[in-house]
Structure 1
Amino acid sequence: MTVRDRGLAVVVAVLWGANFIAIHVGLEHFPPVFLAGLRMLVLAVPAVLLIPRPAVPLRWLIGYGLGFGTLQFLFLFLGMYAGMPAGLASLVLQASGPFTLVLGAVLLRERVRRRQWIGIGVAVAGLATIALLRAQTAALLPVALTLLGALGWAAGNLCNRLAQRDGEAVDPLHLTLWMTVVPPIPLLAASAVVEGPATGWLATAEVFTRDGLPGLVALLYLSVVATVVGSGIWTVLMRRYPAGVVAPHSLLVPVVGMGLAVLLLGERPSLPELVAGVVVVVGVLAASAPGRRGVGVEPPVARV
């Protein structure tokens, strides 16, 4: 990669790492399920109006939207609303990488090398350590919800891969934007049942006041900056270089997320959690690293 493109990859990691700070702020102004749906609705409307639907099988587009756009953010937002620290959430969500490899091996019969299995085992050990540490403080539920979000992301990755495999000249960014058409209906319907039919819309009206301005900025950041700008740059880089060259930069996301959480939110992860976090990153890196001949599962990329 050129120095310029490496810089762009780092910029994307910063944008995605800051995404977790935006979620934290957004949850102070919106109910969690409603925020997950509204974030997608903001993108779904212009996507339908301005971008042609990608020529992919409808089942994979729906599966991508349900896994990546619905389940991932539903459980992530619920986990953070239940007390999952923003920095730790950015780390635990990286479990999507090992989950993708396992699901790909089980459901798609994709080949996983011994080194990747070892990496998965290391990452799982790190995540289990974090879960045990959190369980000692009665905070296991947020970790479990965030892991379910990572599993949803992994399921979405598989549908994304199948959509691009079976589609015709698919633009990955267009596919990502059209994926946002799926989540608003189930998420907003769930919000109406669980959080109340008017609660989210009243919160939306309040973000247009002075006190609610941070919530509006957070919503726009989640929808436009993190998804459109971040994913747009990442898509360009993925087209220029092999996935194994670009994808490891996504491991900077939890580093940025945890760093910003310390600086802006005053979070203080314990030393054992930091050590376990390093173990997770090392495991994910080993699991997603390409082999000498490029054999194996293409690593998933972070788009949050």
Structure 2
Amino acid sequence: MSTYRNGGLFLLLSFLWGTSFMAIKVGLEFMPPVLFAAFRYDLAAIGMLAYAAAATEYWRPRSRADWTVVGIGAILIIALYNAFLFVGQQGVTSGVAAILIAMNPVLATGFSRLLLPSERLGTVESVGLCLGFLGVGLVARPTATTLLAADLVAPGFVLLAAVAVALGSVLVQRVDSDLPTEGMVAWSTALGAVVLHAISIGLPSESVADVTVTTEAILTVIYLAVFASAVGYVIYFDLLDRLGAIEINLVSYTVPVFAAFSGWLVLSESVDALSALGFAVIFGGFVLLKRETLHERLGSVSPNRE
């Protein structure tokens, strides 16, 4: 029964996070991008803090190390990730954005090999990392004439979002903090919302006056905050405990399927063949980077195991 439960939750998480790309695209019609992201995390922070307080007694930062991981999460994993993503999604489809964000596990592995003393990047892992960037090239398809053109700016911002969250996820591992993940994410969400508001205020292109309050806009913010963020992270934590980090990383490769389908269904978007091939190449890079761990995990669930 737990296998079906885990599989069902995994698909639900993929659906929630995949359709969030479509919801972002819809909401951008009514709000400036960074301010839109800030509104999302204003509301999400309430749910996440409530969940953290209920899930663990140690949910408030108590030490300098605790506040350090919260700061890293707030700036890189919440604020910069979402600022880059929301700005970038103004110029790419939901499916393409999700494919580029799927570079996150590949980039995180690369950063961990670079920044964590115990990690090293071997020959096969280096090939995997190169495959990941080749996949990005197939999605963005830069040429000599379009290298600085506007049509590459949007995917560039989305890729920066993947870089920000990957770097943040590695840096938090370098800090010796006892704060549980639930507390770290909750406080990072709250402080990240503050940083997003500060970024929005500092951008001359953004203003509260540019917000168009409609039922569709309100529902979009609620969906992203409550379902994609709060409910999504509750499911994520549950699966992380049950499946481990490698299996839950695979959600990055199911999310684009739901992103592309919802974008096609709601917004009449499409993903071309080269973008789909790029996604497959990125996933191939991930498999090479994680081949040893994947082999161990697949062996541990072999039906022949006593």
> How far off is 1:149 after superposition?
0.7
Deviation string, structure 1 residues 189-224 (Cα, Å, up to 9, x no partner)? 221232467x32662xx43xxxx1111111111111
What is aligned with 1:188? Answer: 197
| Residues 233/291 of structure 1: CA separation in 2 closer, same or farther (3 Å cut) | closer
For residues 222-260 of structure 1, the C-alpha deviation after alignment (integer angstroms, 9 at most, x for no partner) is 111111111111211111223223332331001111121
Taking structure 1 as reference, are residues 130 and 250 closer, same or farther at Cα in structure 2, changes over 3 Å only?
A: closer
Residues 1:216 and 1:158: Cα distance change in structure 2 (over 3 Å): same
Aligned twin of 2:105? 97
- Alpha-carbon offset, residue 84 of structure 1: 1.4
Displacement after TM superposition at 1:27 (Å): 0.8
Aligned to 1:167: 177
| RMSD of aligned Cα (Å) | 2.5
In the other structure, the counterpart of 1:108 is 116
Q: In structure 2, what residue type is equivalent to 1:18?
A: T
- Counterpart residue type for residue 270 of structure 1: D
Deviation, 1:46, is 5.7
C-alpha change, 1:7 and 1:44, in structure 2 (3 Å) is closer
Matched ranges for 1:147-296 at <5 A: 147-163=159-175, 166-168=176-178, 170-195=179-204, 199-200=207-208, 203=211, 206-207=212-213, 212-289=214-291, 290-293=293-296
Residues 26, 202 of structure 1: alpha-carbon distance in 2 compared, 3 angstrom cutoff: same
* Percent pairwise identity: 25
Q: Please report how far the alpha carbon of residue 47 of structure 1 lies from its aligned counterpart in structure 2 after TM superposition.
A: 5.3
**What residue in structure 2 maps to residue 21 of structure 1?**
22
Distance 1:195 1:224, change over 3 A: farther
CA distance in 1 between counterparts of 2:79 and 2:155 reads 18
Tell me the distance in 2 between the aligned counterparts of 1:262 and 1:230.
Answer: 22
State the match for 1:73 in structure 2: 82
Secondary structure, aligned partner of 2:103: helix
Structure 1 residue 293 displacement after superposition: 4.9
2: CA distance between counterparts of 1:133 and 1:232?
38
**Separation in 1 of the partners of 2:115 and 2:33?**
31
Check whether the contact 1:54–1:171 (CA below 8 A) recurs between aligned residues: no
**Matches of 2:49 and 2:3, distance apart in 1:** 35
Partner SS for 2:200 = helix
Note if contact 1:73-1:149 (Cα within 8 Å) is conserved in structure 2: yes
Which moved further from structure 2: 183-192 or 141-150? 183-192
Counterpart of 2:96 in structure 1: which amino acid?
A: L
Structure 1 unaligned runs (5+)?
295-304
Greater mean deviation of Cα atoms: 22-31 or 243-252: 243-252
Match for 1:148: what amino acid? Answer: L
User: Number of matched residues?
Assistant: 283
CA distance in 1 between counterparts of 2:140 and 2:87 reads 17
